Amino acid sequence: MQYRTLGHTGVQVSTLVLGAMNFGRIGRTTQDEATAIVDAALEGGINLIDTADAYSDGESEEMVGKAIAGRRDDIVLATKAYLPMGEERNHRGSSRRWLITELDNSLRRLGVDHVDLYQIHRWDPTTSDEETLSALTDLQRAGKIRYFGSSTFPAYRIVQAQWAAREYRLSRYVTEQPGYSILQRGIETHVLPVTEQYGLGVLVWSPLASGWLSGAIRAGREITTSRSTFMPQRFDTAIPVNRAKMDAVEQLAEVADQAGLTMIQLALGFVTAHPAVTSAIIGPRTMDHLHSQLAAADTVLSADVLDAIDAIVAPGVDLAAHEKHDTPPALLDAAQRRR
C-alpha cells in the first residue's frame, strides 16, 4: 500500500480508501461481512474509511462503528451529510441547524466522539457558504470534527467556498470528493486544476465506474452486477451512451491484457496516477471484491499504458455526461434559465 498526504493537513492516508456505501441494505452486506471486510482492509494497509449518513439511512455508519470498535485511533474516519434523512423537509441540506443535529446523530451511530473528516455530500444551492462554513468551523473548534471537505462540488463552487472562508475568516474545506474514472474524465477539465490550485486532498469515488471497469461487464455477456439491478438504465446497451461505454471497455480490456493487468488494476492505477488525486475510494460488497481491489494497491501504470487509455477516452471527456452529479442546477431545470 502506498500513502500520501491528504492535502495540506499532514495526515497520511492510504491510496485506497474503504468506502462503506454497500454496508447494509444498499449492498445487502451483513454486519459480520462488513466487519470481516474492515478487518481485511486494515490488514491490507488501508487506514481511511469513508461512509455517509444517507447510506442505508444510517445503517452503514452503525455497521462501521461496530466494525472499528476498539481501534478508533488507528483509523482516519470520514462521513458526510446533506442528503435527505427522512421526509421532514429540514432533515437535509447544509444549514447550521441540520449539520449540528446530524453530526451528533452520526457520532452516535458510529459510536465515536469525533470524526476526522466531515464532508458536505453535495453543494446546497439554498444555503450560503458563510452559513455552512461557520457551522463547520464551530464544530471543528468544539472538537467534534478535525477537518471538513466537500463532495461532488462544481469547480466554481469550490472556488467560491475558498473565497468565502477567507472573506469571513472561517476554516476552509481541505478536501474534495469527486466522481472520477477512465469513463468519466470531466473533472480533469475544471475540478482537478482547482483542487491543485488550492492544495485540496482529493478522494475520488466510483473509480470502477459503477462496475463497468470491474472486469465483470464485457460484450456478449449478460450484465448481472448488483448495481445494474437497481440502475438498469445505466447498463442497457440498447442506449447509445451505454454502447459507447461498452466499446471503450472492450478496448481497455485489450490494453489491460497486453500490460498484464486486470481491469481493476488498470482502472485504479489510472485514477491514482493523476497528480491531483490523493486516493481512490473502493466500495467492496464482498470479500472477493475487496481482495481483487487490494491487488491494485501498488499498481503503477507506464506512460505507454496511460497514452493508450487517452487514445480510447480523451482527457476531460465524460462518456456519460448526464450521469454526473455536479451539473449546475440551471442546466437541469429550464425555469432557472428563463426570466
Query: β-strands 16-19, 48-50: how paired?
Result: parallel
Whole-number Å distance between alpha carbons of 173 and 162: 7
> And the C-alpha cell for 63?
455497521
CA 2 to chain centroid, in Å, comes to 18
What residue type is assigned to position 48 of the chain? L
What residue type is assigned to position 262 of the chain? T
| Active-site option among 55, 82, 118, 147 | 55
- What was the pLDDT predicted at 238? 87
Q: What stretches of 92-243 adopt beta strand conformation (E)? A: 115-120, 145-151, 175-177, 201-204
Q: Is 140 exposed, middle or buried (0-12, 13-18, 19+ CB in 10 A)?
A: middle
Whole-number Å distance between alpha carbons of 122 and 327: 11
Distances (CA, A) of 250 to 230, 246, 257: 24, 6, 11
Q: What average pLDDT does the segment 82-106 reach?
A: 97
Among the listed residues 251, 252, 250, 231, the one whose alpha carbon sits nearest the alpha carbon of residue 322 = 231
Whole-number Å distance between alpha carbons of 300 and 201: 20
- What was the pLDDT predicted at 339? 87
Q: What average pLDDT does the segment 216-242 reach?
A: 85
Geometric angle at alpha carbon 109, from 88 and 205, rounded to 5°: 85
Indicate whether 182 pLDDT > 90.
yes
pTM: 0.95
Residue 337: other Cβ atoms inside 10 A: 11
- What was the pLDDT predicted at 29? 93
DSSP reduced 3-state for 131: helix
Tell me the per-residue pLDDT of 2-49, one tens digit each, with 9 for 90 and over: 999 999 999 999 999 999 999 999 999 999 999 999 999 999 999 999
> And the C-alpha cell for 270?
489510472
Q: What average pLDDT does the segment 53-64 reach?
A: 98
Whole-number Å distance between alpha carbons of 99 and 118: 10
- What was the pLDDT predicted at 44? 97
55 is catalytic: yes
DSSP string, 208-228: TGGGTTSSS--TTS----HHH
pLDDT tier at 172, thresholds 50, 70, 90:
very high
pLDDT tier at 101, thresholds 50, 70, 90:
very high
Provide the mean pLDDT of the chain: 95
Residues ≥6 apart with Cβ < 8 Å to 263: 213, 214, 215, 249, 252, 253, 256
Query: β-strands 279-282, 12-14: how paired?
Result: unpaired
Measured over the CA atoms of residue 27, residue 327, residue 270 and residue 83, the dihedral's sign is: negative
Indicate whether 230 pLDDT > 80.
no
Whole-number Å distance between alpha carbons of 132 and 147: 14
Contact indicator for 118, 81 with CB cutoff of 8 Å: yes
- What was the pLDDT predicted at 313? 98
Indicate whether 329 pLDDT > 90.
no
- What was the pLDDT predicted at 16? 98
Residue 274: other Cβ atoms inside 10 A: 18
Indicate whether 226 pLDDT > 80.
no
Indicate whether 332 pLDDT > 80.
no
Reported as type and span, the H/E element at residue 3 is strand 3-5
Q: What average pLDDT does the segment 216-236 reach?
A: 84
In degrees rounded to 5, what are phi and psi of residue 313?
Answer: -125, 115
- What was the pLDDT predicted at 51? 98
- What was the pLDDT predicted at 336? 84
Residue given cell 454526473 in the structure block: 324
Distances (CA, A) of 253 to 148, 206, 260, 275: 38, 18, 10, 24
Q: Percent of the chain, pLDDT > 90?
A: 88
Tell me the per-residue pLDDT of 269-294, one tens digit each, with 9 for 90 and over: 999 999 999 999 999 999 999 999 99
Contact indicator for 134, 93 with CB cutoff of 8 Å: no
- What was the pLDDT predicted at 322? 84
Indicate whether 214 pLDDT > 90.
yes
Indicate whether 218 pLDDT > 80.
yes
Which has more confidence, 198 or 324? Answer: 198
